[in-house]
């Protein structure tokens, strides 16, 4: 039976909460009981602190005893340490649970293991992460090997299982019913989605409805992604089975989602810093409803370096009036409960995994010490444990295994109609239609000022899609990027020779971003892990993004996030016009304005 059958017999019907709360052995369960009673010594005692009890909403003085990586006791008694007990004096400090990100994209030009190295010292100890790069870049079976390797890290990885691609492309054929069936059965896959094609769900698309139903039948949630959806449309999405949404950008939109029975993730990150507008929603009873969560939603490397991760989001939430206890619940207990993980994560209580942060105060959410699974993993913002570098080359397809390189003629305007159905970038991610008339008398092969050529290429040289782009930069020789949602090579600029040079460099690097002007490559950074990620450090990725942005500013780039500007050129779940494998795509009309061309 396939993933899309009406009632999947291969999956048990289960309530959300299918993560089994089991100990490795009966002896370990007995030891937790003995340590909790005080009959045996703990592995770790944390003394002198106040503990934020996210279940009762209280801040109480308590000693915390940990055994076998789990909390055994939280209370006023002071258990005696043993010879091998580590005693952590936390006088004057506050203990809070490790932060849980309900919607993570740990592949924003960096690898998931590098992401773990960056966010674990900032207090995030568990994430529910995007599977899309694994689905489109890894062979079936190798995705599971990558998940197994990540499961061994001190940062706990759970997953949201994509049901379709982020742009129609040949790679989307790898997301099959059979593959989804195998992955949804994994315990750490907690939800299906995010369903970025929400308009297709609204229209009753049979394939999406069946795949969503199969996820629900497996006891999983369904993650939505409905930017701009009205309250009435959100009602339809809820009727289809959508459980949550993170795309509200106003308090009114968030309230529409709550009224439809959805959980709401309040977003604040490099893509959209929305909390100042959303915070008024989290007042009075709604703040403590358990239906609200916090997420940075895939921030860039410079954002993580300069601001932080969930620790930063918590600080912004409190600065904009959200009650501190409610804010911490939104970053710990609420996401854990939503995903059925609250018997393991989200609180400091007996039996839970000992993910504990030592803070100077609730008002300062950046931790001084991070404990994950009962082990001190970070102090003062630095890792105290080794996180191995994972062999991504063993699991993911190479980006450009062939030797094809495009010549300048590939980027010529020959054959395009005039006016050209073209894209205009309103901001870093939204593109509207703004047609451009060609005039051979103008410089740049007939391009008006501020208009660039935009070409999507098959890395193997079999096809191309062409249009024109305004609102990105005023003047640019050639910029090529494999970092995108379309599984191809995007090349933009005004001069064909520079575009060809930039594209050639990206293909030679096996993926990446390159900028060329005057026949010289001025910038090149490899994304040699599937064309989407670099095997370099977070600091190196952040520096590269900054360098590229600094090069583009004098050329008229005016938006706030170059990574998302490039990533979303082909993302056909966002309005209004995109360049995709199907050609210049009108998202609202659902039709190609210019078709794909064979090379």
Each residue of 140-190: pLDDT tens digit? 889 999 999 999 999 999 999 999 999 989 989 999 999 999 999 999 999
pTM over 0.75: yes
What is the pLDDT at residue 442? 55
Q: List the chain pLDDT tens, one digit each, 599 residues.
A: 346 444 333 233 333 444 444 556 788 889 999 999 999 999 999 999 999 999 999 999 999 999 999 999 999 999 999 999 999 999 999 999 999 999 999 999 999 999 999 999 999 999 999 999 999 999 888 999 999 999 999 999 999 999 999 998 998 999 999 999 999 999 999 999 999 999 999 999 999 999 999 999 999 999 999 999 999 999 999 999 999 999 999 999 999 999 999 999 999 999 999 999 999 999 999 999 999 999 999 999 999 999 999 999 999 999 999 999 999 999 999 999 999 999 999 999 999 999 999 999 999 999 999 999 999 999 999 999 999 999 999 999 899 888 999 999 999 999 999 999 999 999 998 999 999 998 865 545 678 999 999 999 999 999 999 999 999 999 999 999 999 976 799 999 999 999 999 999 999 999 999 999 999 999 999 999 999 999 999 999 999 999 999 999 999 999 999 999 999 999 998 889 999 999 999 999 999 999 999 99
Task: List, for residues 74-102, the tens digit of each pLDDT value.
Answer: 999 999 999 999 999 999 999 999 999 99
Tell me, what's the pLDDT at 23? 54
Half-sphere exposure of 545 (CA within 13 A, CB side): 30
Please state the domain extents for the chain: 97-343+382-395, 408-598
C-alpha dist (Å) from residue 536 to 113, 282, 327, 539, 563: 11, 39, 34, 8, 16
The pLDDT tens digits of the residues spanning 181-220 come to: 999 999 999 999 999 999 999 999 999 999 999 999 999 9
Q: What percent of the chain stands above pLDDT 70?
A: 95
Cis peptide before 419 (omega within 30 of 0): yes
Rounded CA Rg of the chain: 25
CATH of domain 97-343+382-395: 3.20.20.140
Which DSSP string do the residues of 353-390 spell out, in sequence order? Answer: B--EEEESBTTB-S-SEEEETTEEEEETTEESS--PPP
- Model pLDDT, residue 227: 93
Calculate the CA dihedral of residues 233, 333, 97, 19 and round it to 10 degrees.
Answer: -100
Burial of 590 by CB count in 10 Å (0-12 exposed, 13-18 middle, 19+ buried)? Answer: exposed
- Give 177's DSSP letter: H
pLDDT for res 573: 86
If 0-12 CB within 10 Å is exposed, 13-18 middle and 19+ buried, where does residue 186 land? Answer: middle
pLDDT of residue 440: 61
């Amino acid at each position: 039976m396939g993933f899309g059958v009406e009632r999947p017999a291969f999956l048990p019907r289960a309530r959300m909460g299918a993560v089994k709360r089991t100990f490795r052995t009966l002896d370990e369960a007995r030891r937790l009981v003995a340590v909790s009673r005080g009959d045996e010594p703990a592995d770790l005692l944390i003394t002198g602190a106040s503990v934020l009890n996210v279940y009762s909403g209280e801040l109480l003085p308590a000693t915390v005893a940990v055994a076998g990586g789990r909390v055994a006791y939280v209370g006023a008694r002071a258990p005696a340490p043993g010879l091998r007990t580590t005693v952590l004096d936390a006088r004057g400090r506050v203990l809070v649970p490790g932060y849980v990100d309900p919607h993570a994209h740990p592949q924003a030009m960096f690898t998931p293991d590098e992401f773990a190295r960056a966010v674990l010292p900032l207090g995030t100890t568990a994430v529910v992460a995007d599977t899309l790069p694994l689905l489109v870049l890894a062979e079936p079976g190798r995705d599971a090997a990558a998940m197994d390797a990540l499961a061994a890290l001190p940062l706990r990885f759970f997953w949201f299982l994509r049901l379709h691609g982020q742009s129609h492309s040949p790679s989307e054929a790898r997301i099959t019913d059979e593959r989804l069936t195998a992955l949804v059965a994994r315990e750490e896959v907690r939800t299906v989605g995010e369903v970025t094609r929400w308009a297709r769900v609204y229209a009753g698309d049979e394939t999406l409805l069946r795949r969503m139903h199969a996820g629900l039948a497996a006891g999983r949630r369904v993650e939505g992604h409905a930017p701009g959806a009205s309250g009435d449309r959100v009602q339809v999405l809820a009727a289809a089975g959508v459980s949550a949404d993170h795309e509200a950008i106003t308090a009114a939109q968030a309230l529409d989602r709550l009224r439809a029975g959805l959980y709401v993730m309040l977003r604040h990150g490099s893509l959209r810093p929305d909390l100042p507008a959303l915070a008024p929603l989290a007042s009075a009873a709604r703040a403590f409803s358990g239906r609200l969560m916090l997420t940075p939603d895939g921030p860039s490397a410079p954002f993580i370096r300069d601001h932080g991760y969930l620790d930063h989001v918590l600080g912004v939430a409190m600065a904009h009036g959200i009650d501190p206890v409610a804010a911490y619940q939104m970053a710990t207990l609420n996401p854990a409960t939503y995903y059925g993980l609250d018997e393991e994560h989200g609180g400091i209580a007996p039996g839970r995994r000992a993910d504990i942060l030592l803070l100077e105060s609730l008002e300062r959410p950046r931790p001084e010490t991070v404990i994950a699974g009962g082990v001190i993993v970070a102090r003062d913002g630095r890792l105290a444990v080794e996180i191995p570098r994972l062999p991504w080359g063993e699991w993911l397809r190479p980006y450009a295994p062939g030797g094809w390189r495009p010549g300048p003629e590939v980027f010529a305007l020959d054959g395009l109609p005039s006016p050209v159905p073209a894209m205009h970038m309103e901001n870093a991610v939204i593109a509207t239609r703004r047609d451009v008339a060609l005039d051979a008398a103008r410089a740049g092969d007939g391009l008006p000022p501020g208009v660039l050529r935009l070409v999507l290429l098959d890395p193997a040289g079999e096809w191309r899609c062409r249009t024109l782009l305004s609102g990105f930069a005023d003047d640019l020789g050639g910029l090529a990027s494999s970092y995108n949602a379309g599984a191809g090579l995007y090349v933009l600029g005004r001069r064909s020779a520079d575009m060809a040079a930039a594209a050639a460099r990206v293909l030679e690097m096996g993926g990446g971003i390159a900028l060329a002007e005057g026949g010289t490559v001025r910038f090149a950074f490899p994304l040699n892990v599937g064309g989407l990620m670099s095997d370099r450090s977070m600091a190196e990725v952040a520096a590269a993004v900054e360098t590229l942005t600094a090069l583009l500013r004098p050329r008229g780039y005016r938006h706030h996030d170059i990574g998302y500007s490039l990533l979303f050129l082909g993302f056909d779940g966002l309005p209004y016009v995109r360049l995709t494998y199907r050609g210049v795509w009108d998202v609202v009309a659902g039709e190609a304005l210019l078709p794909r061309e064979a090379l």
